[in-house]
């Protein structure tokens, strides 16, 4: 397993285990509690984007500790994905959180699809390989900052890929805490801030996964989520002087952007500026 693919695993997946009072790793549980407290304390006065920017490094460090713990507990990747599905089915929600719950389910399923494909590609069965790398030469989040100035675009986007997974993780954790009524967030912020942030970060994580060649979607995957990720990946390729893999040309991009903008109008019942939508797609 490459360390890069391992560190994209979300902390949220093991939330129920980490919050268990009988969890064997006390230091990891304390670190996780500190993470939750930082989220709970910040969400009332800051927007989710600002919180995610502030907590990226903390989330990264917690992930490394989580990987080591998963390896020590002999939790296979198969068991890991079982935990994902269990989390999805066991989250209880009120009527006021139906859309948020569905968004969590949809985005987490997208994440699982991407990571499962990466693991299958690398022949991964456990976390012990990444554990050896982390313990022998522990990565520092700041190391990835140097990639931002790398001349090769796919190396440069590795930092963006990691950051999007961290931001998604933070937003996902907030969403679950809101559903479980441990964080109070009004409906306006849920509908106009949290849900769009979840959708945007998983879209970009998927697009960066394609662009960096960690993930190649299945040929028979015609889901709208994957479709949009492929479009976003192609806009990145074209912005970096590379040929698109999915779109034929620039005109295709504009046509697709118009279609997605109209889809957004239908879903949100709001006016969408197509030029701004296209600008957002270009990143």
Which tens digits make up the pLDDT trace of 239-257? 888 888 887 655 555 566 5
Which of helix, strand or coil describes residue 139?
A: coil
The whole-number pLDDT of residue 267 equals 46
Sequence-ordered list of residues with C-beta below 8 angstroms from that of 179, at least 6 positions apart, any chain:
91, 92, 93, 97, 100, 101, 104
Q: Mean pLDDT throughout 68-89?
A: 74
What are the b/e assignments for 86-118, b being 16+ CB within 10 Å? ebbeebebeeebeebbebbebbbbbbbbbbbbb
- Report the pLDDT value the prediction gives residue 149, as an integer from 0 to 100: 66
Of residues 122 and 233, the one with the higher pLDDT is 233
User: Does residue 273 have a pLDDT over 50?
Assistant: no
Domain spans of the chain? 3-216
Mean pLDDT over 190-213 rounds to 93
CA separation for the pair 247, 282 (Å, rounded): 13
Name the nearest CA neighbour of 64 among 138, 129, 142: 138
């Amino acid at each position: 397993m490459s360390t890069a693919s391992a560190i994209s695993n979300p902390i949220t997946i093991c939330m129920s285990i980490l919050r268990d009072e009988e969890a064997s790793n006390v230091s990891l549980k304390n670190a996780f509690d500190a993470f939750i407290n930082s989220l709970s304390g910040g969400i009332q006065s800051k927007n989710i984007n600002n919180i995610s920017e502030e907590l990226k490094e903390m989330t990264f460090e917690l992930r490394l500790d989580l990987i080591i713990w998963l390896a020590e507990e002999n939790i296979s990747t198969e068991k890991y994905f079982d935990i994902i599905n269990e989390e999805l089915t066991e989250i209880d929600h009120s009527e006021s959180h139906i859309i948020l719950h569905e968004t969590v389910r949809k985005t987490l399923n997208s994440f699982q699809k991407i990571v499962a494909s990466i693991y299958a590609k690398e022949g991964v069965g456990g976390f012990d390989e990444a554990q050896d790398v982390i313990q022998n030469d522990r990565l520092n989040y700041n190391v990835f900052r140097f990639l931002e100035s790398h001349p090769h675009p796919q190396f440069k986007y590795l930092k963006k890929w990691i950051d999007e997974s961290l931001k998604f993780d933070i937003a996902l954790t907030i969403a679950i805490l809101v559903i479980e009524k441990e964080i109070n967030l009004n409906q306006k912020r849920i509908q106009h801030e949290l849900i769009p942030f979840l959708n945007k970060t998983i879209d970009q994580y998927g697009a960066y996964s394609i662009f960096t060649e960690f993930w190649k979607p299945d040929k028979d995957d015609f889901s709208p989520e994957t479709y949009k990720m492929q479009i976003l990946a192609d806009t990145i390729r074209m912005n970096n002087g590379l040929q698109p893999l999915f779109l034929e040309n620039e005109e295709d991009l504009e046509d697709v952007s118009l279609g997605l903008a109209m889809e957004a109008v239908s879903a949100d019942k709001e006016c969408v500026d197509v030029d701004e939508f296209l600008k957002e797609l270009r990143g």
